[in-house]
């Protein structure tokens, strides 16, 4: 809705478009609570948004003071072509995705802005995604919005150069969005399905346009499909996290696995191998029962860590290493990482020490509890600690 409105207001006045969108949903919450949800909720929302935009433009004093001098008459003939039909919505969303990824901003600011405008992230959620302070994010967003307003980018049909200059940031943004949903660090939720769905929805828009339907796009969509297939199995009926080895595979969504296979095949129509290809490959092997799957997963992690090192990738690689070579050998691999500030590091060492040294495993798990901000993860770790204490036969006191 904001994207379509910005076709007519221009990015310089994006806050006006956002306000109209917010007012539209506020009216819906009030009207629907009394009269019930309409037969076509989307059409109802777009009709209200269009009428609010008309009312706004008819308000002469606001038009004179805030709009007229900022509009380019040739580019904003809203009275004749202000519509919310399917093609306009799709084109506007695609263009808006690329508009907010403005090269005038550094990559971190581009991603923060996109997460806020496209995905509705709060400042806190963005800070969690970047593992930084909320005040830092607020300042970053303020600067990024100023650059966005000063940009001459039009929320209309995209060109090849515009796409090529911003594609990497767009894909990284959607990748971060999905990860925040799949393993949420905010709002005390372990999984936020709506964020995963939103990421899939946005990347599907990219696959529907020939200019953005690239091998990287398909690889990222394949990754999201594979990961989404296991969402229902990652939480039990008590709302507790279920680790991969303990998941009921009957709860995996086979149709999403098939879609993941389809998009992964599409992603191989070229010579490019990106981090998304490798991560999609890792996710694919997780869906199989092949006896060599962990060796294949480890090989892919070995390639991934060379393309883009991150602490999480290093920890995941070490876990795969333990599945291939055993937990004893994996301990030295893990300890060489020296990631003492990461709760996953301590959680991994807790897992690796469990067969050989229960007191030490408990010690690492307790440190992981102290470092995590996820309530669900704390519950999972505490359950492990309790189980280990019962196993210890009096050694841990």
In a domain, 38, yes or no: yes
d(CA 33, CA 306) in angstroms, rounded, equals 54
Sign of the dihedral defined by the CA atoms of residues 134, 138, 143, 148, in that order: positive
In a domain, 397, yes or no: yes
Last residue of a domain, one of 84, 107, 137: 84
> How far, in Å, are 138, 325, 360 from residue 122 at the CA level?
10, 42, 39
Please provide the DSSP assignment of 115-139 as one string. HHHTT---HHHHHHHHTS-HHHHHH
Do the domain assignments include residue 354? yes
Spatial contact of 149 and 9, defined as CB atoms under 8 Å apart: no
Cβ within 8 Å of residue 230, ≥6 positions away:
244, 247, 252, 253, 286, 287
The mean-pLDDT minimum among 101-110, 184-193, 370-379 falls in 184-193
204 in a structural domain = no
Q: Tell me the pLDDT tens digit for each residue of 145-155.
A: 888 888 767 77
Residue with tokens 């690889």: 219
Task: Please count the residues of the chain.
Answer: 397
Asked which of 26, 49, 84 is the last residue of a domain, the reply is 84
Q: Given a cut of 90, is residue 341 above it in pLDDT? A: yes
Domain end call among 54, 84, 114:
84
pTM (predicted TM-score) = 0.81
Domain membership of residue 32 (yes or no) is: yes
Average pLDDT over residues 319-341: 96
Q: Is 144 domain-assigned?
A: no
* Structural domain count, the chain: 2
Take residue 235 and report the two structure tokens written for it. 């939480």
**What integer pLDDT is reported at residue 107 of this predicted model?**
78
Q: Is 188 a residue whose pLDDT tops 70?
A: no
Domain extent, residue 74, equals 1-84
> Would you say residue 379 lies in a domain?
yes
Q: How far apart are the first and last CA of the chain?
A: 60
CATH of the domain at 358: 1.25.40
Domain assignment of residue 128, yes or no:
no
pLDDT at 396 over 80: no
């Amino acid at each position: 809705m904001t994207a379509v409105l910005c076709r007519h207001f221009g990015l310089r006045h994006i806050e006006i478009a956002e306000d109209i969108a917010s007012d539209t949903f506020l009216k819906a919450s009030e009207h629907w609570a009394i009269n019930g949800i309409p037969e076509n909720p989307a059409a109802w929302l777009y009709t209200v948004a269009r009428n609010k935009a008309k009312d706004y433009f008819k308000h002469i004093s606001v038009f004179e003071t805030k709009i007229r001098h900022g509009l380019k008459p040739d580019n904003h003939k809203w009275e004749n072509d202000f519509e919310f039909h399917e093609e306009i919505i799709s084109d506007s969303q695609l263009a808006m995705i690329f508009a907010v990824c403005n090269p005038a901003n550094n990559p971190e600011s581009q991603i923060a802005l996109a997460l806020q405008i496209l995905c509705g992230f709060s400042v806190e959620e963005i800070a969690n995604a970047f593992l930084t302070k909320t005040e830092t994010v607020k300042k970053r967003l303020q600067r990024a919005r100023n650059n966005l307003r000063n940009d001459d980018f039009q929320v209309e049909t995209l060109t090849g150069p515009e796409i090529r200059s911003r594609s990497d940031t767009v894909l990284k943004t959607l990748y971060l969005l999905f990860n925040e949903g799949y393993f949420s660090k905010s709002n005390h939720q372990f999984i936020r399905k709506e964020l995963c769905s939103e990421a899939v929805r946005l990347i599907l828009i990219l696959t529907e346009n020939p200019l953005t339907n690239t091998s990287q796009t398909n690889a990222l969509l394949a990754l999201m499909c594979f990961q989404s297939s296991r969402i229902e199995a990652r939480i039990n009926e008590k709302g507790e996290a279920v680790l991969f080895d303990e998941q009921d595979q009957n709860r995996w969504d086979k149709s999403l696995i098939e879609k993941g296979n389809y998009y992964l095949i599409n992603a191989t129509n070229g010579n490019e191998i990106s981090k998304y290809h490798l991560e999609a490959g890792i996710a694919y092997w997780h869906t199989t029962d092949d006896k060599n799957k962990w060796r294949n997963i480890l090989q892919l992690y070995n390639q991934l860590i060379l393309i883009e090192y991150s602490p999480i990738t290093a920890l995941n690689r070490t876990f795969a290493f333990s599945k291939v070579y055993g937990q004893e050998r994996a301990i030295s691999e893990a300890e060489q990482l020296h990631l003492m500030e990461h709760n996953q590091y301590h959680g991994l060492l807790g897992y690796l020490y469990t067969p050989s040294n229960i007191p030490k495993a408990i010690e690492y798990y307790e440190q992981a509890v102290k470092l995590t901000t996820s309530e669900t993860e704390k519950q999972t770790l505490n359950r492990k600690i309790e189980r280990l204490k019962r196993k210890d036969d009096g050694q841990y006191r």
